[in-house]
Amino acid sequence: MASEQQVKRYLAYWFQLGKKVVIHKDCTSLLPKSVYQGDRYSQEFETIWQRVILPDSGDCYLEGTTQTIAELLTQKWDIEPCFRCDMPVPVINIGLPPESCTCYDLPTWPNTELPAPREPVRSKECLSLIRDRLGQSENQPDFEENTSPGKKGE
């Protein structure tokens, strides 16, 4: 079953490539100008997310797909990497892939010369891990101290 976080991540990745979310009831398509703000989703992204998960919005789906966001949040679906481009795609939980990846209509994708869509950078977490590793290395004696030869003439 795809979690809410996995479905949000799925939308965020495809938004970065210009795919829109379609709200069938209103005949509207939405694409946030900014997906991330620092280490979290942007307010514009969160507003779109709240709109597409409302039952009143009706069928909402990513442009070029047939699965609704509501369907993706059921036990029938998982979000897995595409075998072709490694982007997140919906997969029926019984292991059968969808008819095609959402990237099928992007003629220049995959493009390994461009940066791939990503999750937000969590600078604080990364810096904390570096700090912790540096702290650990300070508490361990140098390799040379443990293997230094005895005094000459012994």
Q: What confidence tens digit (pLDDT) does each residue in 18-64 have? A: 999 999 988 899 999 999 999 999 999 999 999 999 998 889 999 99
Domain ranges of the chain: 4-105
Report the sign of the C-alpha dihedral through residues 93, 42, 85, 125, in that order.
negative
Residue 5 zone, left/alpha/beta (φ > 0; ψ -120 to 50; rest): alpha
- pTM of the complete model: 0.65
* Helix 43-53 / helix 4-16 crossing angle, nearest 10 deg: 120
Indicate the pLDDT class of residue 124, thresholds 50, 70 and 90: confident
pLDDT in tens, 65-116: 999 999 999 988 999 999 888 999 999 887 545 556 778 788 888 888 888 8
